[in-house]
Amino acid sequence: MYIKNEKIEFKGKDSKDPFSFRYYDKKRVINGKTMGEHLKFAMSWWHTVNASGTDMFGGDTMSKTFGLSGMDMYKAKADFAFELMRKLGIDYYCFHDVDVAPEGETLGESVKNLEIMTDYLLQKQKETGIKPLWVTANMFGDKKFMAGAATSPCADVFAVAAGKVKAGIDAAVKLGAKGYVFWGGREGYDTLLNTDMALELHNLGRFMRMARDYGRSHGFDGDFYIEPKPKEPTKHQYDFDAATCANFLRANGLEADFKLNIEANHATLAGHTFNHELRVAAVNGMFGSIDANQGDMLLGWDTDQFPTNVYETTLAMYEVIKAGGFTNGGLNFDAKARRQSNTLEDTVLSYIAGMDAFALGLIKAYQIIDDGRIDAFIKERYSSYESGMGKRIVDGEETLESLAAYAADLKDIKVQSGRQEYLEAVMNDILFSGDTE
Ligand code: XLS
Ligand code: NI
Ligand code: NI
């Protein structure tokens, strides 16, 4: 027992018990699915089980070694992780290879350690029914990855990265994960003065095709994901944003097997909103999964805070619902308690805050849809494409010449008001004066 609280229960919105859910009622059915099925929460291993408060200017503020070292420590961490997930009612987890098992001196040794630990995880999964949402390989931490993995100028690094991804896919299959993530931490550059961009991009495409081919011939039937991020740690990352990744996937023939894993804080780093990135993924048929967190607009880096802004979670869940909901994906809390929130209770409270913020976001997103004013406004705004000339344009029946002839004598064309302020007031109405039932 690492966590002194018992199972966290739903107690309703009037509950003042900090160790209770006010909105997340896992079994509550909304529009034919339970909240648990809508939200598919996952725990991030790296932040939750490993991160200990270190920042650029200072060391640890909390210990997560449980007084142990070596394989025993990794097993204790797994015990803690499963206890936390069970107590919070979280059914999924996400991890990098190096999060769950110690690294050896060679790739071969690391893979052996990973196998020992995935045996252990499998046993914990059987006891609890918890599974990974997705697996990934850390190809940015070790110094050999300083110039990237698949985009490294060093071919041996490309080879080691391939071996890590092979082991990661094997782990995903063994543990029943339906996702494999590529977050290209250092797949980018710091200066073009030393970079062959064309070769790096081709190698990145080659690498992902190798992963796809290996996965598909070795029992991985889930989704591969790219997780866009524009920068940090590199100055420019090739997976810049959802639009860039969609183009990259199509250019490399990967669009049938890959989707996008959208992270809120990465969206804002790219100068976009979270819901913009979700919309771009959906428009491209690549909506897959979410790394749920939030940044601090005044700091501007990837602070990975727990998402508590209900306006944002509402807009995000509106996009998720419109995209048809999660299939293989889910909501991974790629988030960590603040450096000063340095107790295990803070970890529990952080998850409660994030889960409740998304549960409330889900409730409010359905209220927007049921209310209908926003959807009706959009439909009406584009109604000129539903009949007459507009419909013929959409049906592909017009040409530049036919349109020029049609438009030649048009006078006094009126475009209707966009009504932004009215729509923002509708949002306030739904968010702040509606009920939560
Ligand atoms: C870092 C990323 C990372 C990925 C997994 O910014 O968010 O945590 O989600 O490698
Ligand atoms: Ni992430
Ligand atoms: Ni991130």
Map 298-310 to HEC letters: CCCCCCCECCCCH
Counting ligands in written order, the one closest to the CA of 268 is 3
Active site residues: 96, 99
Instruction: For the domain made up of 24-371, give the CATH fold.
Output: TIM Barrel (3.20.20)
Residue identifier of the C-alpha nearest atom 8 of ligand 1: 334
The rounded Å distance from CA 63 to ligand 2 centre is: 23
Q: List alpha helices for 252-323, DSSP H.
A: 264-269, 274-283, 310-322
Buried b (16+ CB within 10 A) or exposed e, 229-267: bbbeebeebbbbbbbbbbebbeebebbebbbbbbbbbbb
CB of 136 within 6 A of ligand 1: the answer is yes
Residue identifier of the C-alpha nearest atom 7 of ligand 1: 334
DSSP string, 183-251: --TT-EES-GGG--HHHHHHHHHHHHHHHHHHHHHTT--SEEEE---S-SSSSEETT-SHHHHHHHHHH
In this structure, are strands 33-34 and 29-30 parallel, antiparallel, or unpaired? antiparallel
The rounded Å distance from CA 357 to ligand 1 centre is: 21
Best residue among 291, 303, 333 to mutate for probing ligand 1's pocket (most ligand atoms within 8 Å of CB) is 291
Q: Contact at 8 Å (CB) between 117 and 77? A: no
In this predicted model, what pLDDT tens digit does every residue of 237-267 receive, in sequence order?
999 999 999 999 999 999 999 999 999 999 9
- Bigger pLDDT: 3 or 94? 94
In this structure, are strands 258-263 and 9-10 parallel, antiparallel, or unpaired? unpaired
CB of 229 within 6 A of ligand 1: the answer is yes
In this predicted model, what pLDDT tens digit does every residue of 283-311 receive, in sequence order?
999 999 999 999 999 998 999 999 999 99
In this predicted model, what pLDDT tens digit does every residue of 373-431 receive, in sequence order?
999 999 999 999 999 999 999 999 999 999 999 999 999 999 999 999 999 999 999 99
CB of 263 within 6 A of ligand 1: the answer is yes
What is the C-alpha to C-alpha distance for residues 215 and 209, in angstroms, rounded to an integer? 10
Residue type, 158: F
Helix (H) / strand (E) element for 29: namely strand 29-30
Q: How confident is the model at residue 1 (pLDDT cuts 50, 70, 90)?
A: confident
The rounded Å distance from CA 349 to ligand 2 centre is: 21
The rounded Å distance from CA 126 to ligand 2 centre is: 27
What is the C-alpha to C-alpha distance for residues 206 and 419, in angstroms, rounded to an integer? 47
CB of 227 within 6 A of ligand 1: the answer is yes
Q: What residues does each domain of the chain span?
A: 24-371, 374-431
Helix (H) / strand (E) element for 331: namely strand 331-333
Best residue among 183, 224, 306 to mutate for probing ligand 1's pocket (most ligand atoms within 8 Å of CB) is 183
Q: Give me 15's structure tokens.
A: 């509950």
Q: Residue range 101-119: average pLDDT?
A: 98
Q: Residue range 310-316: average pLDDT?
A: 98
Q: Omega into 230 within 30° of 0, i.e. cis? A: no
- For the chain, the maximum distance between any two Cα atoms, rounded to a whole number of angstroms, is 82
The conformation of residue 34, written as its DSSP 8-state character, comes to E
What is the C-alpha to C-alpha distance for residues 264 and 242, in angstroms, rounded to an integer? 12
Other Cβ atoms less than 10 A from the Cβ of 14: the count is: 6
The conformation of residue 429, written as its DSSP 8-state character, comes to I
Q: What is the pTM of this model?
A: 0.97
Atom of ligand 1 nearest to the CA of 261: 9
DSSP string, 85-141: HHHHT--EEEEEHHHHS---SSHHHHHHHHHHHHHHHHHHHHHH--EEEEEE---SS
Relative orientation angle of helices 310-322 and 274-283, to the nearest 10 degrees:
10
How much is the pLDDT for 433? 82
What is the C-alpha to C-alpha distance for residues 101 and 175, in angstroms, rounded to an integer? 15
- 131, 157, 168 from 110: Cα distances, Å: 22, 15, 11
